[in-house]
Amino acid sequence: MGAITESRHFSSAVGLHPTLETMSRDALAALQFDRLRDVLRNAWANVPWQRTRLDAAGLQPDALAGLDDLRRLPFMVKTDLRDHYPFGLFARPVDALARVHASSGTTGKPTVVGYTAGDLSRWADLMARSMAGAGVRRGDLVHNAYGYGLFTGGLGAHSGAERLGCPVVPVSGGGTERQVALLMDFGARVLCATPSYALAIAEVAEQMGVDLRRSGLRIGMFGAEPWSAAMRDEIEARLGLRAYDVYGLSEIMGPGVACECECRNGLHGWEDHFLFELVDPETGAPVPDGAAGELVITTLTKEALPMLRYRTRDITRLAHARCDCGRTHLRILRVTGRNDDMLIIRGVNVYPSQIEAVLVGRPGLAPHYQLVVERRGSLDHLRIEVEAQPGVEPAAFEVLAREAVHHIKSMIGVSAEITIVAPGSLPRSQGKAARVRDLRQGRTTSA
């Protein structure tokens, strides 16, 4: 327990699972090696496509000599799952599964993922650990506004909260006025939602004349989409809670792959269950600590759907230095966006979340925006629609727009056209916000 008493954040350590979360890096590496061999055995024995790949890489499970050997295996990508739709990469027959989830994507078939009862139990454990790390305690009432259904957010947060011993209000997304009423009447201490939906709840409450800062809410578990530090400040100010970033993806598990602790200095990726790598998205070569790259994840304990070196498309940075909370597991810094959501505007790479970071919190502007990308002649053109704050006179819109253009240019280096629109005119999200309207291919993507 030494690590706990040493911690400067003693109160945060209450939620620690010391043997799992503060084990030495050497012990963690030994555990990862044992588990990697097991997961290779499972994939090799039960998934013909994986066996072919492993054989080709000379990675028969018993040939594994060290964790680094895994780098001989080519990456997995989302289309591998689509190409084997629906269950072709599962290591268990359907009748041995406990549940399936799926993510819709923008085109074509959904990506389907499966879980054994053991997988569901480990998922609940990890989400419980994530919530405990953020300060959620047994008995706290959890208002869960993530969508229930094929999306992993609703049931993932639900099971984690229950595992921690928390009663859950399984309200799902939508019906925002009712959500506000339930938050006030039931007095939930914890809100689980996407950050964009948390903001929508705050806005509807304000329109109803309800001050959620006076509710029982203290902790927000927000994720499933990129969000900026500026958005965190905005949400905290309007809901009167402390907001934590939770990360995950259905292909790997769902929410709870990584989560901020009370130090909020990056999201602890649970390394006893996952191997994390960071690679250059162009070359696939490893990038050093502190540099940006694409997160690649290998599952170490998944029975139904072992994923080996899965390219998430998510761009982030890693930090291996020990955290003040005492946890030894690495930290994944805020995910700035998905590689596929990166816009290239006249040669400048830009993620929607960078635009958000500049716009949100600027005087006169509301935190509601949408990016419209068009082709004008042979050039890409970025138009940003952003709402004025309620009460701002339309006569002031032009000046606000001019200032915003200037800030975007000086902070990000991209020339954008900015249109200030009336409060309430952009669509509100009930889940993942659709931030980009890409008129070049006629598609809409969530950022």
**Which spans of this chain sit near ligand DLL (rule: CB under 6 A)?**
103, 146, 151-153, 156, 223-226, 245-250, 254-255, 312, 314, 335, 338
Half-sphere exposure of 370 (CA within 13 A, CB side): 20
Nearer to ligand DLL, 184 or 438 (CB): 438
Residue with the two structure tokens 């704050």: 389
The first and second tokens of residue 313, run together, are 């498309």
Nearer to ligand DLL, 7 or 152 (CB): 152
Minimum distance of ligand DLL from residue 423's CB (angstroms)? 26
Contact 134, 9 (CB under 8 A): no
Mapped onto helix, strand or coil, the DSSP state of residue 279 is strand
Nearer to ligand DLL, 284 or 423 (CB): 284
Nearer to ligand DLL, 60 or 104 (CB): 104
**Is 234 exposed, middle or buried, given 0-12, 13-18 or 19+ CB atoms closer than 10 A?**
buried
The interaxial angle of helices 352-359 and 397-412, nearest 10 deg, is 130
Minimum distance of ligand DLL from residue 382's CB (angstroms)? 21
Minimum distance of ligand DLL from residue 10's CB (angstroms)? 27
- Rounded CA-CA distance 144/173 in Å is 8
192-221 residues labelled b (16+ CB within 10 A) or e (exposed): bbbbbbbbbbbbbbeeeebebeebbbbbbb
Nearer to ligand DLL, 179 or 250 (CB): 250
List the one residue out of 273, 332, 281, 310 whose CA is nearest residue 119.
273
Minimum distance of ligand DLL from residue 227's CB (angstroms)? 6
List the one residue out of 81, 86, 29, 96 whose CA is nearest residue 50.
81
Nearer to ligand DLL, 249 or 420 (CB): 249
Minimum distance of ligand DLL from residue 101's CB (angstroms)? 8
Minimum distance of ligand DLL from residue 55's CB (angstroms)? 29
Nearer to ligand DLL, 15 or 248 (CB): 248
Give the torsion sign (CA, 315, 105, 175, 372). positive
Of all residues in the shown chain, the one whose CB is closest to ligand DLL is 223
3-state helix, strand, coil in the chain (%, to 5): 35, 25, 40
**Is 295 exposed, middle or buried, given 0-12, 13-18 or 19+ CB atoms closer than 10 A?**
buried
Nearer to ligand DLL, 23 or 314 (CB): 314
The DSSP result for 196-231, as a single string, is HHHHHHHHHHHHHT--GGGSS--EEEEESS---HHH
Mapped onto helix, strand or coil, the DSSP state of residue 262 is coil
Minimum distance of ligand DLL from residue 87's CB (angstroms)? 17
Minimum distance of ligand DLL from residue 82's CB (angstroms)? 13
Minimum distance of ligand DLL from residue 402's CB (angstroms)? 31
Nearer to ligand DLL, 114 or 255 (CB): 255
